[in-house]
A and B are shown apart, each in its own frame.
Chain A
Amino acid sequence: MMKRIVILGAGTAGTIMANKLRKALKPGDWSITIVDKEETHYYQPGFLFIPFGIYGKQDVIKPKRQFFPKNIEVIISEIDRIAPDVNKVYLQNADALDYDFLVVATGTEICPEEIEGMKEELWHKSIFDFYTLEGAMALADFLKTWEGGKLVLNIAEMPIKCPVAPLEFLFLADDFFRKKNMRDKVDITLVTPLDAAFTKPIAARELGDFMEKKGINIVTEFNIGRVENEEKKIVSWDEREVEFDLLVTIPTNMGIKAIERSEMGDELNFIPTDKHTLQSNGWENVFVIGDATDLPSSKAGSVAHFQADILFENMMSAIAGKPLEANFDGHANCFIESGGGKGLLIDFNYETEPLPGKFPFPGIGPFALLKETRMNHLGKMGFRWLYWNMLIKGRDLPLEPHMSMAGKYIPEEEAETV
């Protein structure tokens, strides 16, 4: 009898998996169904550039169907709920689906309503997000005529997807206001729940130096409790206050509501998942990939891509009734736009924090790790082409899913204390 794989979510991870699985499994033996609520694929890394007029809407959207393989079933519908104990998915505008294997790739969404006062009078007037296309577009409009004042970027709570994006936003903002000859009219402050600019110490120091050089202030260990709309300030749970004229928020990031309704998630609706095999902890035939997992790896497109290599191998094993032997190591690889046509690159995994060195070829590069170069900026801009043309189509890139220590070195001060 024909068996069925259902993939929930046709974003970065779901699209890659559909392509990889369809190529490997005979259509006569396995049917593959993919479900998404939208017809449009958003290139989310491009949202970063929209507020500054570097990209427009057309640069970051394409029809999803352009990236699906032939011979899969595509259903456009909101997912209502999963019933993993009976291998069923309920949809809002279509019949329920039965599955033999399920891949959950529904990502994460921002939840501004989690913060008191966030989504009130000032929302998309003086308070903006840039993690959605609408937010980024509204902010672009606002910035066109803004005359300056206090720009505050606040991260509500961790984890967030693409944890370097807020820093990139600040570097680009600094550059943007400089070019408009109004940098002296803008006071830029990062307000973060972390105790430094970033979570990993060596990169945090490097990025902290950058912020200082660019005159960007930082307020640390600030856990936002509420927004005071009238007085235009954010207030932490321990009653510290930061005033703003323009608040750019990275609201709480959560897994989608359908996961909550299915009672499959943790307190943020992320699904408990084996950090090496990507099998869900709760159900043998349910796999989870990308931002939807509770893994301690970064939530990033590059991570979803490395995970896809591992998950593909493990699903093929599961289908053959063999043990799952491929192991995800937490590998992440992120270009960090630093303004002025330059960028940095970080490469790390569960065990190894971002280190300086060369990538991907030891000693040669062309990319420099944890160092600001023009080449890294070109890498960042070139990623969009790679994303549309190679990555989500599931083509092999000359990049190993596992992180390599080749080409990396540990700075001397750290080496002594290790």
Chain B
Amino acid sequence: METAVLDNRTIELDKDGNLANRDDWNENIAQEFANMEGVGELNERHWIVINFMRKEFDAKGDAPSIRKLTKESGVSTKELYALFPKGPAKKAAKIAGLPKPKGCI
């Protein structure tokens, strides 16, 4: 099992480098993940997305797709990509302490 030192603790990660246990998550860890992913300082708009993801995950057991995010969170696709460059769904899930969204097939 992979581990990393985050928020001054040793924390277990899954095979994608996301948190293995959701309970380990806190806002400091979110910021550290954001730095690692090149997202930078998390602002109010980032938090709207992160909180929406966490809420959706609690309700559905999977992180929402980008389409659902933009339809329901009030953040446009354009802005989403500006906030989380390259892979908003994947990066926001990691920062929110969730597993990588399941690819649909």
Say whether A352 faces chain B, with CB atoms less than 8 Å apart.
Answer: no
- B40 interface residue per 8 A CB criterion: no
Is the pair A296, B102 in contact by a Cβ cutoff of 8 Å?
A: yes
- Jot down 9 A-B pairs with beta carbons below 8 A, ordered by A: A158-B103, A159-B104, A199-B105, A238-B86, A266-B68, A267-B68, A267-B71, A296-B102, A296-B104
**In the complex, which residues 61-105 of chain B have their Cβ closer than 8 Å to any Cβ of chain A?**
65-68, 71-72, 77-78, 80-81, 85-87, 102-105
Size bin of chain B's contact surface = 10 to 19
Given A157-B67, A267-B68: A296 and B81 interface contact (C-beta under 8 Å): no
Is B86 a contact of A200 with CB atoms below 8 Å?
no
CB-CB under 8 A from B68, the residues of chain A are 266-267
Q: Mark B21-42, 1 if CB is under 8 A from A, else 0.
A: 0000000000000000000000
Closest CB in chain B relative to A94 CB, distance in Å: 33
Q: For the complex, give the distance between the alpha carbons of A297 and B86 in Å.
A: 27
B105–A238 touching, CB < 8 Å: no
Contact B104 A158, beta carbon cutoff 8 Å:
yes
A residues adjacent to B (C-beta < 8 A): 157-159, 163, 194, 199-200, 221, 223, 225, 237-238, 266-268, 296-298
Beyond A225-B78, A296-B105, 19 extra complex contacts between A and B, CB < 8 Å = A157-B67, A158-B103, A163-B105, A199-B103, A199-B104, A200-B105, A221-B86, A221-B87, A225-B77, A225-B81, A238-B81, A266-B68, A267-B65, A267-B68, A267-B71, A267-B72, A268-B67, A296-B102, A297-B105
Which chain B residue shows the least CB distance to A240? B86
Query: A194 contacts B86, CB within 8 Å?
Result: no
Q: Are A159 and B105 in contact (CB under 8 A)?
A: yes
> Among the interface residues B65, B80, B85, which one has the most CB atoms of the partner chain A within 10 A?
B65
Q: Are A238 and B77 in contact (CB under 8 A)?
A: no
B72, B78, B105: which contacts A237 (Cβ < 8 A)? Answer: B78
Question: In the assembled complex, which residues on chain A have CB atoms less than 8 Å from the CB atom of B78?
Answer: 225, 237
In the docked arrangement, what's the CA distance between A390 and B68, Å? 39
The smallest beta-carbon distance between A373 and chain B, in angstroms, is 23
- How far, in angstroms, from A266 to B81 measured CA to CA in the complex? 22
Residue ID in chain A nearest B100 by CB atoms: A195
* Residues in B neighbouring A194, C-beta threshold 8 A: 103
> Which residues of A sit under 8 angstroms from B85, Cβ to Cβ?
238
Chain A neighbourhood of B80, CB < 8 A: 237
Binding site for A on B (CB under 8 A): 65-68, 71-72, 77-78, 80-81, 85-87, 102-105
Say yes or no: A237 contacts B77, CB within 8 Å. Answer: yes
B77 — which chain A residues lie within 8 A by C-beta?
Answer: 225, 237
**B residues in contact with A163, CB < 8 Å:** 105
Determine the distance from Cα of A335 to Cα of B24 in the docked complex, in whole angstroms: 43
Collect the chain B residues with CB atoms within 8 Å of residue A157's CB.
65-67
CA of A199 to CA of B77 in the docked complex: distance in angstroms?
23
Q: How far is the CB of B76 from chain A (nearest CB, A)?
A: 10
Q: Which chain A residues lie closer than 8 Å to B67 at the CB level? A: 157, 267-268
**Please, how many angstroms separate the alpha-carbon atoms of A272 and B41 in the complex?**
37
Shortest Cβ gap from B66 to chain A (Å): 7
Chain A's closest residue to B105 (CB) is: A199
- Bound complex: CA of A47 vs CA of B22, how far in Å? 45
Write out the residue numbers on chain A whose beta carbons fall within 8 Å of the beta carbon of B72: 267
Chain B residues contacting A223 (CB-CB under 8 Å) are: 66, 81
**Nearest chain B CB to A162 CB, angstrom units:** 11
Closest residue of chain B to A252 (Cβ to Cβ) is B67
A contact residues around B86 at 8 Å (CB): 221, 238
Please give, as numbers and ranges, the residues of chain A lying within 8 Å of B65 by CB-CB distance: 157, 267
The interface centre, meaning the residue of A221, A223, A268, A298 with most chain B CB atoms within 10 A of its CB, is: A223
A296 to B62, CA, bound (A): 11
* Contact yes or no, A237 B87, CB < 8 A: no
Most chain A beta-carbon contacts within 10 A, residue among B72, B80, B86, B104: B104
Give the Cβ gap from A302 to chain B, nearest Cβ, in Å. Answer: 13
Q: Which residues of B contact A298 (CB under 8 A)?
A: 105
Closest to A160 in B: B104
Chain B residue with the shortest CB-CB distance to A298: B105
**A223–B71 CA distance with the chains assembled, in angstroms:** 17
Nearest CB of chain B from residue A407's CB, rounded to whole Å: 22
Contact for B81 among A158, A237, A297, CB less than 8 A:
A237
- Least CB distance from B4 to A in Å reads 19
Q: What are the residues of chain B within 8 A of A297 when measuring CB–CB?
A: 105
Min CB gap B17→A, angstroms: 13
The complex places the Cα of A200 from the Cα of B105 at a distance, in Å, of 8
Q: Which residues of chain B are near A159, meaning CB under 8 Å? A: 104-105
Q: How far is the CB of B58 from chain A (nearest CB, A)?
A: 17
A residues in contact with B103, CB < 8 Å: 158, 194, 199
